[in-house]
Amino acid sequence: MKQTESSSSKDKIKQFELTDSIFDWDGLLQRLMGDEDFAKEIIDDFLKQIPDNLFALKNALNKKDLLLVKREAHIIKGASGNVGALALQKIAEQVEIFGEEKILLRFDRLLKNYIHN
């Protein structure tokens, strides 16, 4: 991910552009010692579970429950990182930071950009 510092944001919060890899297949294969069948199984499980995680995150935002926002974003960040979904991992990381910094307006905009009803 290419990151650029936002002058109006706190130091921890960075804007990012999806100019690099969205998904790191090679990295996932390396972590699984080249087992493509297992990689496909893991990706399939991830794709089945992630919509529920995103829905839970959206609900946490709607409730303005910052602790739950942070928790759900952390879960998504970890799961995404494990499978190599780099773009989603970076977004979830930013959401987690937004929850820590209590910046719900920015979080709401980010969520609307990446989660379609």
Please name which of 96, 58, 59 lies closest in space to residue 79, comparing C-alpha atoms: 96
The fold for domain 2-114 equals Four Helix Bundle (Hemerythrin (Met), subunit A) (1.20.120)
* pLDDT interval class at 13 (50, 70, 90): very low
Q: Is the pTM of this model over 0.85?
A: no
Percent of the residues in the chain that have a pLDDT greater than 90, as a whole number: 52
Query: Per-residue pLDDT averaged across 45-72, rounded?
Result: 93
DSSP state of 33: T
Tokens at 77, concatenated:
């960040």
User: Whole-number mean pLDDT of the chain?
Assistant: 80
* Domain residue extents for the chain: 2-114
Evaluate if residue 85 carries a pLDDT over 70.
yes
pLDDT of residue 8: 43
Mean pLDDT: which of 3-17, 64-78, 100-114 is highest?
Answer: 64-78
Q: Considering only residues 5 and 106, tell me which one the structure prediction assigns the higher pLDDT.
A: 106
Distance from C-alpha of 1 to C-alpha of 86, rounded to nearest angstrom: 8
Count CB neighbours of 45 within 10 A: 12
